[in-house]
Amino acid sequence: MNPAGSVFLLFLVLGSWRRSSSKKKDLQSVCGRPKYSGRIVGGQDAVEGHWPWHVSLYFGQTYICGGSLISDRWILTAAHCLKRTWMPFLHYTVWLGTMKIDYLNSGVKHYVLRTIFHPQSQNTTADIALLKLIPRVTFTSFILPICLPNVTKQMTIPGSCWVTGWGQVHETEGTDYASTLQEAEILVIDRQTCEYLYNPLIAVAPELETIIKEDMICAGENHKRDSCKGDSGGPLSCHIDGVWTQIGLVSWGERCAKSLPGVYTNVTYYQKWIQATISRAEVWGPIIWTYLIYCSLLCCSLWLSWDPPVRLWA
């Protein structure tokens, strides 16, 4: 590569890095601050614009799960919602800015460029995954990211938070999903209490394996409000220090809104993994694409400049 080409390549890489840095600062000023305030099983129709980070995930034409927008390019969802595939853009799409899953014309569609599973997601823990979108998301009054927990600052989780989703509003098998986004305020339950509810024998036999792992949190109210089938991947949003912060995502449960609370993946527990994964992708992504573009341009240049030998007839 000649010196001019090296300088140009370096300029592109540094430019991409500077744009990523500035976007990170911008993200902190807009996340978790919906433009509209409004005031699931046992829930109610959500107010339009109240949860601008909640997205719907589709496999082909079929709605499969919820998710949350955490930046202008990344979606957080549950790992069990996804199938492992080399070309996710052929299968997965995400809709943003819409309240209804049966009327998507009001929303914005993005293709999923890449799916990233937590390395331990094939076990019984780490039910968490990241989706990288193409193209970047344009923020509006109805499309905004939610804040993630700050791992360097002690955070006090309020006694109740909000779960949102398009899942079943009744537990009965075969019940249709809600067409309008549902919202429900639910109690946050400490992990030890939740363990006793799911595993009452552990009180007398502490050697038993725990059911509620340290990467899980619980929330819900007996016979009242809960997440349900179809809500998986959606956020558990808490209003903390004046902004909305995602502390969990819908993972699993036993019988919706019955005697047991819903179980959520603890986003705070995985915040370092989320940050590290996105940082690696944002740093190496522009470098790899720049290299591929440079190689393509070089090949095209060589092909165009190639002067085939003239064959003379004897």
Buried b (16+ CB within 10 A) or exposed e, 189-201: bebeebbebbeee
User: ∠ CA 281-69-214 to the nearest 5 degrees?
Assistant: 80
Among this protein's residues, is 170 annotated catalytic?
no
Give the CA count within 13 Å in the CB-facing half-sphere of 155.
Answer: 24
Instruction: For residue 104, give both structure tokens.
Output: 């998507």
Could you tell me which of 137, 134, 79, 145 has the C-alpha nearest to residue 111?
134
251 is catalytic: no
- The single residue of 56, 68, 71, 232 carrying the catalytic annotation is 232
d(CA 236, CA 238): 7
Point out the catalytic residue in the list 50, 54, 56, 127: 127
Judge whether 179 and 243 are in contact, CB under 8 Å.
no
Torsion sign across C-alpha atoms 229, 72, 108, 91: negative
80 is catalytic: yes
Number of Cβ atoms within 10 Å of the Cβ of 175: 15
Could you tell me if 261 and 253 are in contact, meaning their C-beta atoms sit under 8 angstroms apart?
A: yes
Residues whose CB falls within 8 Å of the CB of residue 50, separated by 6 or more in sequence, listed in order: 34, 36, 37, 38, 183
The catalytic residue positions are: 80, 127, 232
